[in-house]
Amino acid sequence: MVATGRDVRVIHPDGQRPEVASGGMSRLEGVSRALCGAEGIHLGLATIPPGCRSSAHWHVNCESALYVLRGRGRFLVGPELQEGLEIGPGDFIFVPPGAIHAPVNDGDEPLQLVVARNAPEEIVEEYRPL
């Protein structure tokens, strides 16, 4: 099937919608099944205010790729969230399915992350370290 111009969608800011928040992190949905009928991708923007973090969690059904637009922080990973990977503008992050993680903003400006997933809807499990 060849896509036509009618199949291409632009989701303007007034058409984007908030997603479920995680800890201190808010998310804005831009490309999704609900917004434009996407079947194999989800794209959004996550924002974490200074001094905040998301709750610890893992994705059941998808891998994720993130791009740090602005801000600095750490990406906590591991069963006890014991490893903190430093992140800053221009960094890409790959998160395989099942990897426990929690982004943290320990900078002085909002941490903004572009988030892409290879599924139109994610299944997320909250995680409590042992």
CATH code given to domain 38-126: 2.60.120.10
- Indicate the pTM of the whole model: 0.88
- What is the per-residue pLDDT for 83? 95
Is residue 3 very low, low, confident or very high in pLDDT (cuts 50, 70, 90)?
A: low
Q: pLDDT exceeding 90 applies to what percent of the chain?
A: 64
Query: pLDDT tens, 52-91?
Result: 999 999 999 999 999 999 999 999 999 899 999 999 999 9
- What is the per-residue pLDDT for 121? 80
Q: Which of 64, 55, 47 is nearest to 111 (CA)?
A: 47
Q: Which helix (H) or strand (E) holds 27?
A: strand 26-31
